[in-house]
A and B are shown apart, each in its own frame.
Chain A
Amino acid sequence: MTAAHGAGAAGRSVGRALRTVLQDTVREAVRGRWIWMSVTGALGVAVIALFARSLALSEDHQLALSFAAPLARLLAVLIVALSAIVSVSREQADRTLQLALAAPMSRTTWVAGKALGLVAIALVTALLLALPVAAFGPPPAALLAWTLSLALELAVVATVALAIAVVLTQVPPAVCAVLGFYVLARDLHVVQLLAQRAHDYSDLGPAGPVLQAIALLFPRLDLFTRTDWLLGTPPDAAALGLVCGQALVYGLLTVTVASLDLRRAQFA
């Protein structure tokens, strides 16, 4: 057997392993009623936005979009984060993770397959939760950009949840950690702007540089999936390019973290 033939066989084996883990992840999420959760969530968002619109004395279209888009975004993040955490935690608790690793599959391959499965879940969730927003008739190009950005944001959240679930293993602390991460990723830039405007960091003492350093390690989710794109200020190519780049970099970063942590884990 030549080296090339061996490399090709190894590649096909890794590809089969990736596909297997991906399919198992998606199948398990479907069994866990993930699609029903997303559909129900989308209906809930539509109902809330319709109710808000019924209260509006003016600008009812803009008001409905201003309620539907952020609610859909937040709900999508919750659904994807919970699905990812429960998926990983269940595999660790049921020891199906050890069973998978007993097969000729590296830990990195398992993490990569899991990430791909969770990203697939994120994409479908983004499409489902974009439906109630689309129902209020935003400009098509803006809606397309918003949905693409939502899918990328959910992919980042999915990989972050994967890494945190691998490290923390228990569901409650993992959920708290992912939600805290998400809130910081959305709000940290606003906090920085306020600190710069008010005190220029001088009154923060040693906390100032620490805050700036922490901000460098978080993704700029405040630039993703912005509601004002739907309200008449669509994103330009540079803004979308930044969103795509940030999603790719952070997704690969968190998958690497998960892989490194899983490599050093000892299973009984």
Chain B
Amino acid sequence: MMPATAPTASTPSARGRVAPAWMALAALLAVQVVVALRAPDTWHLEASVGTPPAPAVLRLASLDEPALAAYGTDLYLQGYDAQAGALLPLRTADYPAIRAWLQVAFDLNPHSSYPLMLAAFDYSETAHLQDAMTHAAAPQAPAILDFVERGYRADPAAHWRWLAHAAWVSRYVLHDDARALAEAHLLRIAPPAAAIPEWARELDTYVLGRRDPIDARRALLGGLAAGSGGTPAQDLERLAGRISSMETLPGSKAPNRDAIDALIPAFPPSSKPEDGR
């Protein structure tokens, strides 16, 4: 009696067994596609970015890579207002939580200006908008600018640019001339080792003394751009873009020139700006 041979793929019985397997695979793939399309969307906008983890936890989780943890934190915070394609209005955001996240990012990598850039360039202005809309008893914008000032004090050479920007925000957004002059004074009295350019040391004259906030911002951009290899091109482009968007808006509120003139004698004397500047 001949031994039975095992069926191979070429034998009719094997071909019959193969076809149902392929059909089953196709059917299951179709079911998977249907399940994926019908699965409910459970995402919803989160207004608060929440309490950040401790810097030590992030440092351990990143296997002792503080720069990676810091930049990852910056990107997470920066992208928070754009959740799954929907934009979260920053004027409704939780600014104490944002400030906490900025502090964590700075503590992880004090050499980086990224958190100070986010604070001075983005969050301070929108926080002020929220404070004005809600008539906040405890405004958040000054607290965010305080964070920029603390960052500057930790390393003036690395972070003076963002204190200069914070001074602009204080003057032309918060309309807090005393704060603006105090921040400009910090730049003026910085030690020589900080290598702060002369125009920044004379910020109260060169930038803050101008009436028009757009003109003042142009002066800030001009000073930053004139430095040799200091300010990254990305920062200059963002500042230029912000000036362009300001120029398309209705005219900004004129600065309180009299208040500035009254306060200047309280600080070391500097040349006063010409009229109309």
User: Interface residues, chain A, CB within 8 Å of chain B?
Assistant: 52, 55-60, 62-63, 66-67, 70, 74, 183, 186-187, 189-191, 194, 222, 227-228, 231-232
Contact = CB atoms under 8 A, between A and B. Distances in A.
Given A56-B71, A190-B64, A227-B65, 7 more contacts: A52-B71, A57-B117, A57-B238, A58-B238, A60-B234, A187-B60, A227-B67
A58 B234 contact: yes
Interface string B218-256: 000000000000001011001000000000000000000
Contacts of B232: 58-60
Contact of A66 (B64, B67, B113, B234): B67
11 contacts: A52-B75, A55-B78, A57-B118, A58-B117, A58-B232, A58-B234, A58-B238, A59-B232, A62-B71, A190-B64, A227-B67
B62 A70 contact: yes
Contacts of A194: 56
Contacts of B78: 55, 57
B112 A59 contact: yes
Contacts of B235: 58
Nearest to A194: B56
A190 B234 contact: no
A111 B183 CA distance: 66
Nearest to A230: B67
Nearest to A55: B75
Contacts of B63: 70, 74, 183, 186-187
Contacts of B190: none
A227 B59 CA distance: 13
A227 B68 contact: yes
A222 B64 contact: yes
B166 to A, nearest CB: 15
A231 B111 contact: yes
A63 B238 contact: no
Contacts of A74: 63
B114 interface: yes
Contact of A190 (B60, B67, B118): B60
Contacts of B70: 66
B191 interface: no
B89 interface: no
B64 A67 contact: no
B16 to A, nearest CB: 36
A67 B68 contact: yes
A248 to B, nearest CB: 22
A206 B114 CA distance: 42
B121 to A, nearest CB: 8
B234 A231 contact: no
B113 A58 contact: yes
A37 B24 CA distance: 33
A49 B71 CA distance: 12
B53 to A, nearest CB: 13
B71 A66 contact: yes
B176 to A, nearest CB: 25
Contacts of B111: 231-232
B60 A59 contact: no
- The 5 closest A-B CB pairs, nearest first, are A66-B67, A70-B65, A186-B63, A63-B71, A70-B68
A39 B145 CA distance: 46
Interface in B40-72: 56, 59-60, 62-65, 67-68, 70-71
A227 B111 CA distance: 13
Nearest to B109: A66
Contacts of A63: 71, 75, 114
A59 B155 CA distance: 17
A265 to B, nearest CB: 33
A228 B70 CA distance: 12
Interface in B53-111: 56, 59-60, 62-65, 67-68, 70-71, 75, 78-79, 111
A74 B78 CA distance: 26
Contacts of B238: 57-58
Contacts of B56: 190, 194
